[in-house]
């Protein structure tokens, strides 16, 4: 199976992978190409921008969370009708879950997908040294195919010519062009990363990125590099199936500026299992939709504390839903929403739903970050005791208990070391600080939907 594809990797975090990836996606789309975006690693914000640019849902791929088989299968399914795929890397090319092996790195993913790599180098303060850097990255792992270089933050054509000449004199890497520093095409940053695509709204940012790329990047050469990708064998491309539901289960997904961190494949695995997905907004809506399950994803509830607090009718509706035996699955920001209150970065208290006797306190420093294995220590929505799946943690807040809290899971880091408890449980509610990728354990989708009590599920039966 041949699918044109290109991995956009950086020498380090902050080299400009996201800017370059978005610019290439936008410029190629302007050429009339169907571009399928992907993001390496556990990231929710970049894929949102990918989707706005390309008009296609972006998929997360991750060597540690998902493994080779799942990564290849997700790639094959999502790229089937695309002209080419752009896969934005994470951190530096060889950075992953360990300092001594490649698991979870962009390099590992590129090899799993048999994809060529375009290396982004910050060329702002170098000349011939760029050649040494390019050679080092290209030769570090002989099994990896680094095919080209793109320079970021280069202000002039003259400077670019020096960099290009240096690399081409000593390597066989293709130098595809450069990208100028430009505040007009910079997405603002904040404590969990870039501002989301939802907050960006309708702007000409992506058009500017496309124009900038067309002016200084050889897009024909970029497409040639993508077409140089090797073949993927048809074997090992099938995804594990999910058990379909005979009952009609309606899942209400909280989706707005405060709650927007979802893996696309999580939503699609739920739909594949027969769930009817319904979006609603805890910020704007005054009542819940007619659903059997609430899925409260992560996001930035701390930034919208006043609005969430003011929407008393929604908070009361969620609380009543839980008290009446409704099934609620929440992650990170969703967990924070289910506590008694959120204290924002300025220390101001905002009333929340109150399912759990705790407050979520924002810290100005001390981020919790890392890959996580979740293991259930008692039966819960994820499944029986001993059920494991993989995900990650990424938050600045901590919980301050105001009463007894019951946990259903324990957390292990990437090396298998215990790092604490997770999975607050109350009735038919499960709230985790960690974000889970259902693709690491697809049967949890059936477990989650099966947790809906028969008397609460919609009586309609799916059409066959």
Interval 327-339: pLDDT, tens: 999 999 999 999 9
Whole-angstrom distance, CA of residue 449 vs CA of residue 292: 9
Interval 223-242: pLDDT, tens: 999 999 998 876 555 666 66
Interval 398-440: pLDDT, tens: 999 999 999 999 999 999 999 999 999 999 999 999 999 999 9
Which DSSP symbol is given to 172?
-
pLDDT of residue 341: 98
Task: Yes or no: say if 53 and 21 are a contact pair by the CB < 8 Å rule.
Answer: no
Residues serving a catalytic function are 332
pLDDT of residue 238: 60
pLDDT of residue 444: 96
What residues of the chain score a pLDDT lower than 50? 190-193, 459-464
| One fold for 5-227 and 247-461 | yes
Q: What are phi and psi of 443, to 5 degrees?
A: -70, -15
pLDDT of residue 235: 56
Check whether domain 247-461 has CATH 3.40.50.880, yes or no: yes
Whole-angstrom distance, CA of residue 453 vs CA of residue 263: 26
Domain boundaries, the chain: 5-227, 247-461
Q: Mean pLDDT over all residues of the chain?
A: 92
pLDDT of residue 198: 58
Whole-angstrom distance, CA of residue 86 vs CA of residue 7: 6
Task: Yes or no: say if 372 and 390 are a contact pair by the CB < 8 Å rule.
Answer: yes
pLDDT of residue 196: 62
Whole-angstrom distance, CA of residue 284 vs CA of residue 208: 32
Q: What are phi and psi of 444, to 5 degrees?
A: -70, -20
CA distances from 357 to 297, 339, 395, 425, 430 (A): 20, 6, 20, 11, 14
Strand partners of residue 405: none
Check whether domain 5-227 has CATH 2.60.40.10, yes or no: no
Task: Yes or no: say if 347 and 368 are a contact pair by the CB < 8 Å rule.
Answer: no
Task: Yes or no: say if 294 and 327 are a contact pair by the CB < 8 Å rule.
Answer: yes
Which pTM value belongs to this model? 0.92
- For residue 281, what are the contacts with CB-CB under 8 A and spacing of at least 6? 254, 255, 256
pLDDT of residue 37: 98
């Amino acid at each position: 199976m041949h699918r044109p594809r290109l991995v956009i990797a950086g020498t380090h975090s902050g080299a400009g992978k996201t800017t370059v990836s978005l610019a290439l996606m936008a410029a190629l789309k302007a050429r009339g190409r169907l571009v399928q975006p992907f993001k390496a690693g556990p990231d929710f914000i970049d894929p949102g921008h990918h989707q706005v640019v390309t008009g296609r849902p972006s998929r997360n791929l991750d060597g540690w969370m998902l493994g080779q088989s799942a990564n290849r299968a997700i790639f094959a399914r999502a790229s089937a009708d695309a002209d080419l795929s752009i896969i934005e890397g994470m951190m530096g090319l060889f950075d992953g879950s360990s300092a001594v092996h490649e698991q979870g790195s962009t390099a590992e993913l590129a090899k799993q997908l048999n994809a060529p790599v375009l290396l982004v180098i910050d060329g702002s303060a170098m000349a011939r040294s760029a050649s040494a850097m390019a050679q080092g990255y290209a030769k570090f792992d002989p099994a990896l195919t680094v095919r080209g270089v793109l320079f970021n933050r280069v202000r002039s054509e003259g400077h670019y010519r020096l960099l290009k000449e240096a690399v081409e004199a000593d390597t066989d890497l293709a130098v595809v062009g450069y990208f100028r520093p430009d505040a007009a095409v910079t997405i603002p940053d904040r404590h969990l990363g870039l501002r989301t695509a939802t907050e960006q709204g309708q702007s000409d940012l992506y058009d500017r990125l496309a124009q900038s790329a067309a002016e200084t990047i050889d897009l024909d050469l970029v497409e040639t590099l993508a077409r140089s990708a090797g073949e993927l064998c048809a074997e090992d491309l099938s995804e594990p199936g999910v058990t379909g539901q005979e009952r009609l289960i309606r899942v209400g997904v909280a989706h707005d500026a405060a709650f927007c961190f979802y893996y696309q494949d999580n939503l699609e695995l739920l739909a594949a299992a027969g769930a009817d997905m319904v979006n609603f907004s805890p910020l704007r809506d005054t009542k819940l939709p007619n659903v059997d399950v609430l899925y409260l994803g992560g996001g930035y509830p701390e930034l919208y504390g006043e609005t969430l607090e003011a929407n008393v009718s929604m908070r009361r509706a969620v609380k009543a839903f839980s008290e009446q035996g409704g099934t609620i699955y929440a992650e990170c920001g969703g967990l924070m929403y289910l506590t008694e209150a959120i204290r924002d970065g300025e220390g101001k208290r905002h009333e929340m739903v109150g399912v759990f006797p705790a407050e979520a306190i924002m810290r100005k420093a001390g981020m919790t970050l890392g890959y996580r294995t979740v293991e259930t220590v008692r039966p819960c929505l994820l499944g029986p005791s001993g059920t494991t799946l993989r995900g990650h943690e990424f938050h600045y807040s901590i919980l301050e208990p105001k009463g007894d809290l019951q946990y259903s899971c324990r957390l292990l880091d990437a090396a298998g070391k215990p790092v604490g408890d997770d999975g607050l449980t109350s009735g038919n509610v499960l709230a985790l600080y960690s974000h889970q990728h259902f693709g690491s354990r697809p049967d949890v989708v059936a477990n989650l939907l099966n947790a809906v009590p028969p008397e609460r599920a919609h009586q309609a039966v799916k059409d066959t």
